[in-house]
Amino acid sequence: MDNSRLSTVLAIPRRPWFWAFAASAIAYFATLSLTEGRGGGELLSAALTFASFSAIVGLGQMFVITLGPGNVDLSIPATMTLAGTLSLKFMDGAANLILPGLAVALAVGIGAGTFNYLLIRLLRIPPIIATLSASFLYQSLAIWWNRGLRIKPPEALADFSTGAIAGLPNLTIIGVLIALLSWVVLERSIFGRWVSAFGQNTRAARLSGIPVETVRAVTYIASAVLAAFTGYLLASFSGGAALNMGTEYLLISIAVVVIGGCSIAGGNSNVPGIWGGALLMFLVVSMLNSYGFGAGVRLIMTGAIIIGIVAAASGKGRPT
């Protein structure tokens, strides 16, 4: 192995995303130790499946957080619920409406993202307050349209969302493709450079001619669209839309961004780390459940593990 390749290998542990994947591997094998290695395939499949939901919403949250301090989308859970509810009600179990139903979900995302941005831009409301306030509206609309009903997805859509190709869950394939697209946008496009410049110094970005408001609008819309798409997939996977289906993804969407090595101060993103953080969040809970810890202990230990991972990543390198 030549010096350049050796240097590349030795540099891997200094990348923030490395620690999320390393901790995920430890949690995975710690869980398997209770069964002497049995059920490893099922655990891995479950981790990849459920991490897909966290990764997709985490990617949207990552775009927003990259814009800099104060930028965060707290409407993600409500957007997921509204999109899942409206799309399934529109399809009403009809297989020929699967793609139009997806269009309905994406339209919900575009509308929610646009509304979030207008609250921030026109009313000068801080993003945290704007998206939190908007979430109450989206949740109320979901309750009004749902009316306590649990409409099942079309059978073909349910089969696809729970299916796999060559042992790899379909949802994982979709999540990885979205992650690759996000990486290309952030690392290889002018828009990605605009997002990073916005997060590093908004005033300097504006003075350099970057259309900062367009960047902010597209970013919030992208976050809402990814949340809506996740709601569509989650409702199809779980057999119907529930009014609390997005609740846990508020903190998860932020946690995977932080665990993955993205800068909470903005200006730096880390797409691989989002998947590492998503896998870690699922595997840590699975590990603690397997060892029989109560809910309170699980929360404390999960928080401690997250702090440890973030501290290790911060001490070993910078976001890449």
Query: Do 68 and 265 contact (CB within 8 A), yes or no?
Result: yes
pLDDT of residue 37: 64
Q: 127-131, 147-151, 236-240, 255-259: which has the minimum mean pLDDT?
A: 147-151
Per DSSP, helices labelled H in 147-291 are 155-162, 170-188, 190-200, 202-207, 212-237, 249-259, 271-290
Cα three-residue angle 190-196-201, rounded to 5 degrees? 120
Encode pLDDT of 88-102 as tens digits.
999 998 999 999 999
Instruction: Report the top-level CATH class of 16-316.
Output: mainly alpha
Max mean pLDDT among 158-172, 255-269, 287-301 falls in: 158-172
By C-alpha distance, which of 194, 257, 260, 262 is closest to 226? 257
Three-class SS state of 264:
coil
Q: 142-151, 171-180, 190-199: which has the minimum mean pLDDT?
A: 142-151
318 pLDDT band (50/70/90 cuts)?
Answer: very low
What's the token pair of residue 53?
A: 């939901």
Is residue 110 over pLDDT 90?
yes
320 pLDDT band (50/70/90 cuts)?
Answer: very low
Amino acid (1-letter code) at residue 63: F
pLDDT of residue 12: 63
Is residue 162 over pLDDT 70?
yes
Q: What is the largest CA-CA distance in the chain?
A: 65
Whole-structure pTM value: 0.90
Helix axes 295-316, 271-290, angle to 10 degrees: 150
Is residue 11 over pLDDT 60?
no
CA distance 15 to 25: 16
Query: Do 112 and 228 contact (CB within 8 A), yes or no?
Result: yes
Query: Do 130 and 108 contact (CB within 8 A), yes or no?
Result: no
Encode pLDDT of 145-157 as tens digits.
877 667 889 999 9
What's the token pair of residue 81?
A: 């619920």
Is residue 241 over pLDDT 60?
yes
Is residue 9 over pLDDT 90?
no
131 pLDDT band (50/70/90 cuts)?
Answer: very high
CB atoms within 10 A of CB 69: 13
CA distance 39 to 9: 31
**Quick one: which H or E segment has residue 176?**
helix 170-188
- Rg (C-alpha) for the chain, rounded Å, is 20
By C-alpha distance, which of 107, 112, 232 is closest to 160? 232
27 pLDDT band (50/70/90 cuts)?
Answer: confident
String of b and e for 3-36 (b: at least 16 CB within 10 Å)?
A: eeeeeeeeeeeebbbbbbbbbbeebbebbbeeee
Three-class SS state of 207:
helix
268 pLDDT band (50/70/90 cuts)?
Answer: confident
CA distance 155 to 151: 12
CA distance 140 to 75: 12
Q: 136-150, 151-165, 184-198, 200-214: which has the minimum mean pLDDT?
A: 136-150
